[in-house]
Amino acid sequence: MVRLVDITKIDLSTGKAQAIPDFVAEEVPFHLFINSIFWATILSSPTDLKELAIGHLLSEGILKSIDEIEEVTLKEAEGTCDVKLKPEVKVEDRVRLSRLHQRVITSACGAGSPYQYMGKTPKVESNLSVKAQIIFDSVNQLNFKAEGFRQTGGLHVAALYKADGSLVALAEDVGRHNAVDKVIGMAALLKVNFGSCFLALSGRMSGDVAFKAAKVGLPIVASLSAALSSGVAVAESSNLTLAGFVRGKRMNVYTVPSRIVV
């Protein structure tokens, strides 16, 4: 996930330049196949790749449940993963309805415009409520738990928590949407009920992130960073709670504030 490189560090306060080793975040192509047919290349951090594949397919609506998976073949050295689905799954129909248009998903942005498919994102029906203090504590723990971020400053972190603040899954990636996919995949493999969890992350809450959360039924997304207008639009459409700027002793709740208890 991180790589050691040689850099020149310039300090203007002392007027000195020094050659030192430093860590940078790795970004590599990850080639995802469905039933041996190429689906997409995801530029990502090379960790938790099985979870990334499963979480991505769940959050994009290709998979409805991990019970639809027959076999996952991960070849880390080659950077490939082939997810074989059970024969009764109508893959072609789901691919046709998918919002994914490009076949290379960069770490800087997600898998296409969320606006086109807001009407196809199911309403989040969860009755989960979480104390505001637990949201604060969970979000503020992220950067302390994220070793790669502390080393490089170049990784996003996402985590799933239960309503009592207990950690379910945590992942880091160069792409904020990849980090979300990874924790979704981790939780799915643990057979966790998404409706009883909330998502905490370090990056901006874009429409892409809100779409993924709503697609699997996560009721609350809370972040150290801001919400984008696309994130608010998707959240409003899907009855998803968005809370941003969760820092210190305050937060901005953009949509469905009733789930966060003061």
The structure tokens 């990850």 sit at 30
Check residue 100 and give its pLDDT. Answer: 65
The reply to whether 78 and 148 lie within a common domain is no
Question: At residue 232, does pLDDT exceed 60?
Answer: yes
139, 231: one domain: yes
Report the relative pairing of strands 260-261 and 130-131 from DSSP bridges: parallel
In a domain, 61, yes or no: yes
pLDDT band at 178 (very low <50, low <70, confident <90, very high): very high
Q: Is the pLDDT of residue 11 over 60?
A: yes
State the average pLDDT over residues 180-206. Answer: 97
pTM of the model: 0.92
72 located within any domain: yes
Has residue 117 been placed in a domain?
no
How confident is residue 103, by pLDDT bands cut at 50, 70 and 90? confident
Q: What's the pLDDT at 110?
A: 57
Q: How many helices (H) and strands (E) does the chain have?
A: 8, 15
Q: Is 109 a catalytic residue?
A: yes
Whether 176 shows a pLDDT value over 80: the answer reads yes
CA 81 to chain centre: 18
Question: What's the total number of domains in the chain?
Answer: 2
Q: Answer yes or no: is 159 within a domain.
A: yes
Q: Mean pLDDT, the chain, as a whole number?
A: 92
What's the gap between Cα 95 and its chain centre?
A: 21
Q: Answer yes or no: is pLDDT of 112 > 80.
A: no
CATH number of the domain encompassing residue 195 = 3.40.140.10
Reported as a pLDDT band with limits 50, 70 and 90, residue 101 is low
- The residue that leads in pLDDT, 103 or 119, is 103
Catalytic one of 108, 109, 167, 261: 109
Distance CA(225)–CA(27), nearest Å, equals 22
Using a pLDDT cut of 70, give the percent of the chain over it.
94
Assess if residue 10 is contained within a domain.
Answer: no
**pLDDT at residue 116, rounded to an integer:** 54
Containing structural domain, residue 216: 130-261
Task: Give mean pLDDT, residues 148-161.
Answer: 92
Which of 53, 79, 110 marks a domain boundary? 110
Q: Where are the beta strands (DSSP E) in the chain?
A: 2-11, 16-25, 28-34, 37-44, 69-75, 80-85, 104-105, 130-131, 156-162, 167-173, 197-201, 220-223, 241-247, 250-255, 260-261
pLDDT of residue 53: 98
180 and 150 co-located in one domain: yes
